[in-house]
Chain A
Amino acid sequence: MRLTPGPARDVDLECLDLFDLDLYSYGDPHPVWDVMRDKAPLHHQVLPDGREFWSVTRYEDVCRVLGDHREFTSERGTTPTHVGIDDPAAGVLLTSTDPPRHTEVRRPIGTKLTARAVKSWEDSIRRTIQRFLEPALEGETFDLAEKALLLPAMVTGPLLGIPEKDWEELVQLTAMVTAPSDPHFKTGSEAATLAIAHHELVTYVKEWVRTRRASGAEDDSLLHHLMSVRPGGAPLSDEEIALDGYSILLGANVTTPHTVSGTVQALIERPEQFEKAQADPSLVPNLVEEGLRWTSAACNFMRYAVDDVQIGGGTIPARGAVVAWIGSANRDASQFPDPHEFDITRAGAKRHVAFGFGPHFCIGGPLARMTLRIFFEELLQRFGSIELDGEPQHLRSYFIAGMTHLPIVAQKRKTP
């Protein structure tokens, strides 16, 4: 989807199809969300097969839906690809669990991923990013979006305990989960693509655990940590380990690449912002926050209303599915003045909800923030200029906002 929206346009809210994949591959959803926030802050859509869902698009409503598990449960699934079909992993998978169980399981996993804990990985992540960026400076066309798909695996592989030989396959599988209709990832039907990817990923973690148990080896990795935590006094079941391991792989792989590509694209389109950041590296942390807001790679998450609930000037009936559009909330003018301006000095950029909001706030958020900060520090220090060298291509997904191709040509910076 376009991140810099085109001109405002008339939107027929009655006929609007928010799951129209063409809207995200070739279209421009921001003007649509602008109209929704203004005219239909609670929107109802029925899919051709009869499934229905409600949408909230305003910042405060998105925070409320994501933040209040008593009104909006995660226990029946949280991804819009499964709207109206109860998630078979619900209540086991951490992301599809409500407090208090959610809190019990999340706390011990989260201790490995706090800002303080991830700080110790800073140097190794910096070396990885330097290695990643090097080929881009050889003067040839560098497809940043394509290459960036592998970046999170390069960064998190060693922390998770995943050997390098498996990265490429795992990245392919996680991409299949988030964009099962994108021609780059589709295998057979959309349903088959999702099932193959879910199956292979869960099996991968199960095998990892089995091998580890058999060898008795211990290490510092996050997957090993999953095997040893005792939330509520008992270890996680093998199924929980497999599903949470899957979830961590997914969270690590599928969002950060698109924040990298989308933010670089924003800087290419705005040389004055690029120069400003280059002149003052202390702006990088805020550049990262603005990039997270701007790209909103996790475009939405879903919840189910527990009871009839009033929101956005309307009512969602009990058991109704509600999609909270993060991409829209992060362009809500009530929170972000001139929301469609990309401004690395924006005050309050950090109020974005790109990592979600409330109990399910992205557990890898601190690691993603640090990785992105290092990425842009290194990029600005090494790259004198960046130009587009072809048409960007957008991911065919209403769940993850991203790119599949962003060809660039970069020049080395002469006076660092």
Chain B
Amino acid sequence: MESESQAAPAGAPESLVREISALWGEYLNGREVGADDDFFELGGNSLIGIKIIDRVSQDYGVALSVRDFYLAQTPLRVAELIEQGRAQP
């Protein structure tokens, strides 16, 4: 797990990064997830990814691209994608 200070995001508020980390944890057997943890090393797969992308769409109103989500691979970078998605009109 990465510390909070290391995880300080360039493009996404820390609170969002924490929310996304927690959201991942929900679908990854409740384990603790850090901002820079790797989705696949945590045991992530496409069936979990489908659920997470659905939740992001419901909770944040942002439709993440499937490719972007799996290539981002960490809660920090996914939070940045959400932030970018929100910024778009």
| Among candidates B44, B47, B48, B70, residue contacting A196 with C-beta atoms closer than 8 Å | B70
> What is the CB-to-nearest-CB distance from A241 to chain B, in angstroms, rounded to a whole number?
14
Whether B8 sits at the interface, judged by CB under 8 Å, is: no
Whether A187 sits at the interface, judged by CB under 8 Å, is: yes
- 8 Å CB interface, A359-413 against B: none
How many residues on chain A are close to B (CB under 8 Å)? 15
How many residues on chain B are close to A (CB under 8 Å)? 13
Which residue in chain B gives the minimum CB-CB distance to A199? B46
B50 touches A202 (CB 8 A): yes
Contact code string B62-89 (vs A, CB < 8 Å = 1, else 0): 0000110011010000000000000000
B70 touches A192 (CB 8 A): yes
Whether B45 sits at the interface, judged by CB under 8 Å, is: yes
Whether A225 sits at the interface, judged by CB under 8 Å, is: no
Which residue in chain A gives the minimum CB-CB distance to B73? A192
A200 touches B66 (CB 8 A): yes
Q: Which residues in B have their C-beta under 8 angstroms from that of A198?
A: 45-47
Whether B49 sits at the interface, judged by CB under 8 Å, is: yes
Assembly CA distance A202 to B46 (angstroms): 9
Contact code string B15-50 (vs A, CB < 8 Å = 1, else 0): 000000000000000000000000010001111111
Q: Which residues in A have their C-beta under 8 angstroms from that of B45?
A: 88, 195, 198
Assembly CA distance A195 to B50 (angstroms): 10
B66 touches A191 (CB 8 A): no
Assembly CA distance A202 to B40 (angstroms): 19
- 8 Å CB interface, A199-227 against B: 199-200, 202-203
Whether A188 sits at the interface, judged by CB under 8 Å, is: yes
State whether A192 and B71 are in contact (beta carbons under 8 Å apart), knowing that A199-B66, A200-B66, A203-B66 are contacts in the complex. Answer: yes
Q: Which residues in A have their C-beta under 8 angstroms from that of B48?
A: 88
Q: Which residues of A contact B (CB under 8 A)?
A: 88-89, 187-189, 191-192, 194-196, 198-200, 202-203
